[in-house]
A and B are shown apart, each in its own frame.
Chain A
């Protein structure tokens, strides 16, 4: 990582201009539909200036503040995941040729994309998705094509939400790796450091100042504060053995009574990777498109086999989700599948809190 330098806020637009000059489309945070969403933007003016986000279990509300900060919120329902693992995309097309047929792969769009304002938790989640889609014997070509053209500008989290617990999972609030540039927002500008050669190259185009000791101290204090204010936490970094030993804990039934099995948690979770493959045919079935779309282990089709449900009860589905995320993920990818972003807590319609459930399930038993 390079020595931090300082970009005064009025110069933030330079970063946009440089990226656009290099042919990147910029995806950044905007305040929209009552939440932070990541959209294509061309100007720094589109950022959510003066916006705060109140997030609690089952709650997300935008609020306004009277300052000039653009990144003074924790996160929105989505960030990087939909950009690399598309919510719905075609994999191949079939066309009939007389009695025969042909199948042709559909290529993923590969436009170079810069994501501005990614959080440490999202970088950690991206690293996990990379391992899933790229790290095995079968490299997913669609994910790979999008991932390759991705430039990541992190903004360290200075305003975590009450739902956040990245400090307890070790994934935030400061981005440690996996970014091209990392910014930390102060009252009148940003400290900036590069995390890659591409990032270094970008720095050379910006009108930067040396970061002063007081700016650096301000950053340290803000990041320390961002970790210190987090009250939620997981009861340990590896819950594999304890959770798998408690598959009959009465807590599963209690949480199943509140769970609507709606799948919101899996949709907002930046590490959930399940997807369904479906076939969409033209009316005469002369051609069709084989697609994949995000799926959820809470849904009807996930555990469907030969006309039966493997996990018919909500209890089984919630248990599958939580034990995968916090236990069997360790077997698959050597760490927990939770990066502490708190999205599943905020976006659960009934406010089910993964940290509370994990604590109850893992509490010492008499």
Chain B
């Protein structure tokens, strides 16, 4: 472990409750010089360290130009449960950023199609914010989001607001929902047919359960999008984040180092196969 790969103390400047078990921490490194030199790109992640408990890999959900970092975290285990207890002013450790980012440069001047499933999909949240902030650099923004139940949809107000923006299309689906649910009921995958984008000039970014991403990639390819323009962010058990501990392997890939963002053809056979 090199000095560059030790957790750096960071202070929580704000804690935002997103839902019962999802929260966002806005953070700033205790060392101002470290903060000033810290560079990352959407899609990369940090190992978030809860002192005396352990580390978890969490994607960065802030914008690289913000004066703080943000991590949107879902309570899923021991470390995240502990992180959920922290308040603003508390300290935690961060080491990173790690991994390959979204190919935002290759999406410049193109339509951006974001497909996400599940809850609090932080890796694509960063993309949505990034595109909205630099609206003229990209063409259309299409966001397709699937959730299990309508009340799982966090940021509902944000989705409604994005839908009002020019050249934005927001398609949300819940497998089940209450009577007043304004969006589609059922799987999100068929909504891809309604997405308005130019397959010859578009880039898709996917995040969520692997089965859902495979289905979404197929549906996008059926719309004429080249598979190499489809990118997805994968999750695995990550402990070292530097390609050494072996936990994040998928086939010959070390997801922490070779990913977490992959072009679909790089992992297609492995994901279609499943159970590896």
Contacts and interface: CB of A to CB of B under 8 A. Distances in A.
A335 interface: no
Interface string A290-330: 10100101000111111100110000100110001000111
Nearest to B256: A138
Interface string B34-54: 000000000000000101111
A105 interface: yes
B243 A285 contact: no
Interface stretch (A43-51, A91-99, A157-165, A231-239): A91-99
Contacts of B249: 324, 328
Contacts of B179: none
A207 interface: no
Interface in A61-117: 91-92, 94, 96, 99-105
A99 B93 CA distance: 13
A315 to B, nearest CB: 9
A90 B6 CA distance: 13
B89 A274 contact: no
B245 A288 contact: no
Contacts of A288: 51-52
Contact of A277 (B3, B30, B240): B240
A275 B237 contact: no
A266 to B, nearest CB: 10
A274 B243 CA distance: 10
Nearest to B91: A100
Nearest to A274: B246
B247 A92 contact: no
Given A277-B55, A307-B76, A92 B237 contact: no
Interface residues of A, number: 57
A92 B6 contact: yes
A60 to B, nearest CB: 26
A286 B51 CA distance: 9
A273 interface: yes
Nearest to A315: B275
A101 B91 CA distance: 8
Contacts of A307: 76-77
Interface residues on chain B, size class: 35 or more
Contact of A275 (B53, B93, B244, B273): B244
Given A101-B9, A101-B91, A295 B3 contact: no
Nearest to A333: B252
A285 B91 contact: no
A187 interface: no
Interface in A236-287: 244, 247, 273-279, 281-282, 285-287
Given A92-B1, A100-B30, A142-B1, A132 B53 contact: no
Contact of B242 (A138, A274, A302): A138
A307 B249 CA distance: 18
Given A91-B1, A133-B244, A103 B93 contact: yes
A281 B93 contact: no
Given A100-B30, A138-B5, A275 B246 contact: yes
A170 to B, nearest CB: 21
B246 A105 contact: no
B101 to A, nearest CB: 16
Contacts of B9: 100-103
Contacts of A141: 1-2
A303 B237 contact: yes
A310 B250 CA distance: 11
Nearest to A107: B1
19 contacts: A105-B1, A136-B242, A138-B2, A139-B2, A244-B251, A275-B244, A276-B247, A277-B55, A279-B55, A285-B52, A292-B245, A295-B247, A301-B237, A303-B237, A306-B76, A306-B77, A316-B276, A332-B252, A332-B254
Given A132-B244, A307-B76, A319-B276, 14 more contacts: A91-B1, A92-B7, A94-B7, A100-B30, A104-B6, A137-B257, A138-B2, A138-B243, A141-B2, A281-B52, A286-B52, A305-B235, A305-B237, A328-B252
